[in-house]
Amino acid sequence: MNDDPTSSPARIVLVGGGARSGKSRFALARARQLGARRVFVATGQALDAEMAERIAAHARTRGEDFRTVEEPLALPEALIALGGGERASDTGADVVVVDCLTLWLSNLVCRGDSEGSVAERVHALAAALARRRFHAIVVTNEVGLGIVPEAPLGRLFRDIVGRAHQRLAALADEIHLAILGTILRLRPEPIAVAPRDLDDDIEKEPAS
């Protein structure tokens, strides 16, 4: 693979997994492979002290080689704003990491957006990703492997996330699954385990 962002087509990379699975660490390492001008789009909201500390720890982990954009709600619009001109060299970024999709969806659900409205926002996100001029890495949580949630809101959120994953996976050039501390590359085939030295330069695990 040619990882020079000025000479290779912009890639969409979907990185999923459970909590503390290593997915964010892998996403940062992959971003460092793909380009020098890096933007980190953070969707988390510091609604309490514990979440504020998680966000701060995540920022410390990724270091100063990423420009951070905080956008908990208008994610498609944020990506469009970063899109720039017709070539990767015209934009303000070679690679953009979105961390994470599930927090963004949770923000929409918690502010009262209907299932249909959230689906429209996912469609807008997919459209923004399809037209972007930079490499995009989307981090997300796989929430569909556990028991059926007891509460209706939990079941709604699980379904919304699952449908969003299907939508973005259809666009993705690369799909990686973090599980048991191991990164599995699902696309492109064949399925393979990511090299352990990919993220040797990152000493601490991010918040997700």
* Cβ-proximal residues to 79 (8 Å cutoff; 6+ apart), any chain: 41, 96, 98, 125, 128, 129, 132, 136
Please tell me which residue in 58, 135, 165, 176 is annotated as part of the active site. Answer: 58
Angle at 69 between CA 49 and CA 4, to 5 degrees: 130
Under DSSP, the state recorded for 200 is: T
* Cβ-proximal residues to 24 (8 Å cutoff; 6+ apart), any chain: 58, 99, 100, 139, 205, 206, 207, 208
Q: Is 58 a catalytic residue?
A: yes
H-state helical runs in the chain: 23-34, 49-62, 75-83, 101-110, 115-131, 152-169
Task: List, by residue number, the catalytic residues.
Answer: 58
